[in-house]
Amino acid sequence: MKRGQGWKFEVHAAEQDSGSCPALDFLESLSPYERVKLDSLIRRFAETGEVNNKEQIARVEDNLYEFKPYGLRMLWYYSSVRHRIVLTNGFKKTGGKKGRIKKGDLDTARFLRNKYERKV
């Protein structure tokens, strides 16, 4: 998603070595309703640098965050390139209100973040 005039951030998606993009693959797997909810949250953040509902965004660890609308999760981070956020991977929440992020999802996000940042 290119940075629109007056937008705070460009939105990029990190790729695997194979060329696949876990964040985009996840978005494509969602129902139209779910996709709109997640896409509108990402777009709002890219435009303003803020979200209306502070519970829909959370820090996971140092420079790793999650968008979290309605049982969906999209991991992302602030790129070293100014005014850019990078989506890494997404998943549906499991495990009730205090559901934890699975180690595999965190490992994927960390791997993609490190790989992307080595390229820029």
Quick check: is 4 in a domain?
Answer: no
Bridge partners of 89, per DSSP, are 75
Average pLDDT of span 100-117 = 95
Q: Residue 5: pLDDT above 80?
A: no
pTM for the predicted model, two decimal places: 0.91
Q: Domain span at residue 47?
A: 10-119
Q: Looking at residue 45, which CATH number applies to its domain?
A: 3.30.2310.20
Quick check: is 42 in a domain?
Answer: yes
Q: Is 24 exposed, middle or buried (0-12, 13-18, 19+ CB in 10 A)?
A: middle
Q: Residue 35: pLDDT above 80?
A: yes
Average pLDDT of span 99-114 = 93
Quick check: is 1 in a domain?
Answer: no
Bridge partners of 64, per DSSP, are 61
Quick check: is 94 in a domain?
Answer: yes
Indicate the number of domains in the chain.
1
Quick check: is 27 in a domain?
Answer: yes
Q: Residue 110: pLDDT above 80?
A: yes
Quick check: is 5 in a domain?
Answer: no
**pLDDT tens figures, 38-86:** 999 999 999 999 888 889 999 999 999 999 998 999 999 999 999 999 9
Quick check: is 84 in a domain?
Answer: yes
